[in-house]
């Protein structure tokens, strides 16, 4: 895999981003392919990433489009191209993914498309597996720094971690991560924040059941209608 730009690697380390330093360092040394880093097995995504690359060889996506990247909430957004008819949309969601996965596969998942905008949804599975709000925040900053380093003209829009029925017990940590990222976004004009949290709550302050499938985690078309409205305002 391509080597990480050493300036970015050093800047991450000097700023104390210990949560991803091991991943970045191994990437710089060309050692991460097929290995577990900090207990995370990136090789499990090789099939999904290879399928994206094979599809791109058959029909190359246009440059300067809008890249929708993230976990299953992006992967299952089947109507995304129809929901944003005025944009060239590329969907690269891979279910179960986390922020470190997108960082690890950045050179293969992001850079080839040279998108004008990245609409990014991660953090849900991160908190779901036990990552703290601080971990999610630091990993988001690392991803944002990579976008700035390699795609300086690209806007990055983060979709807030959604409130869901299945993970409602994790809502306090998710809200904390959202607040930290939103504050960071406010300080950078190339970043955007699509706040879908409150619109997905009912009058009782809890996730609206009609927005979710039976698993209580993934969304119905009504859920995506809310996302479309909020993301469109950022685009």
Q: Domains (ranges, CATH) in the chain?
A: 1-33 (no CATH), 54-234 (3.40.50.1110)
**Could you read off the pLDDT of 122-138 as tens digits, one per residue?**
999 999 999 999 999 99
Q: Where are the beta strands (DSSP E) in the chain?
A: 36-37, 40-41, 66-70, 89-93, 117-121, 155-159, 191-194
In sequence order, the 6+-apart residues with CB closer than 8 A to the CB of 145 are 8, 11, 12
Residue 161, both tokens = 């971690």
Give the pLDDT band (50/70/90) at residue 99. Answer: very high
* Cα separation values, 28 from 2, 50, 115, 151, 154, Å: 8, 21, 24, 19, 23
89, 66 Cβ separation under 8 angstroms = yes
**Could you read off the pLDDT of 51-89 as tens digits, one per residue?**
999 999 988 888 889 999 999 999 999 999 999 999 999
Q: What count of Cα atoms within 13 Å lies in the side-chain half-sphere of residue 133? A: 15
Residue 139, pLDDT above cutoff 50: yes
68, 96 Cβ separation under 8 angstroms = no
Q: pTM (2 decimals)?
A: 0.82
Distance of CA 190 to the CA centre of its chain: 16
Rounded CA-CA distance 75/77 in Å is: 6
Residue 36, pLDDT above cutoff 70: no
């Amino acid at each position: 895999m391509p080597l990480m730009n050493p300036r970015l690697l050093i800047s991450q380390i000097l700023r104390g981003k210990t949560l991803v330093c091991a991943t970045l360092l191994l990437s710089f040394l060309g050692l991460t392919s097929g290995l577990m880093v900090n207990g995370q097995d990136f090789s499990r995504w090789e099939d999904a990433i290879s399928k994206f690359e094979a599809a791109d060889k058959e029909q190359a996506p246009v440059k300067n489009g809008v890249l929708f990247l993230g976990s299953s909430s992006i992967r299952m957004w089947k109507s995304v191209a129809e929901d944003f008819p005025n944009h060239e949309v590329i969907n690269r969601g891979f279910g179960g993914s986390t922020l470190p996965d997108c960082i690890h596969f950045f050179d293969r998942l992001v850079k080839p498309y040279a998108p004008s905008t990245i609409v990014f949804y991660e953090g849900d599975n991160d908190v779901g597996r036990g990552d703290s709000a601080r971990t999610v925040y630091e990993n988001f900053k690392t991803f944002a720094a990579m976008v700035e380093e390699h795609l300086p003209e690209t806007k990055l829009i983060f979709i807030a971690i959604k409130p869901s029925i299945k993970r409602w017990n994790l809502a306090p940590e998710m809200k904390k991560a959202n607040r930290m990222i939103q504050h960071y976004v406010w300080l950078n004009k190339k970043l955007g924040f699509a706040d879908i949290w409150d619109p997905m709550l009912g009058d009782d302050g809890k996730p609206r059941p009609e927005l979710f499938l039976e698993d209580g985690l993934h969304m119905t078309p009504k859920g995506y209608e809310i996302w479309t409205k909020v993301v469109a305002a950022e685009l």
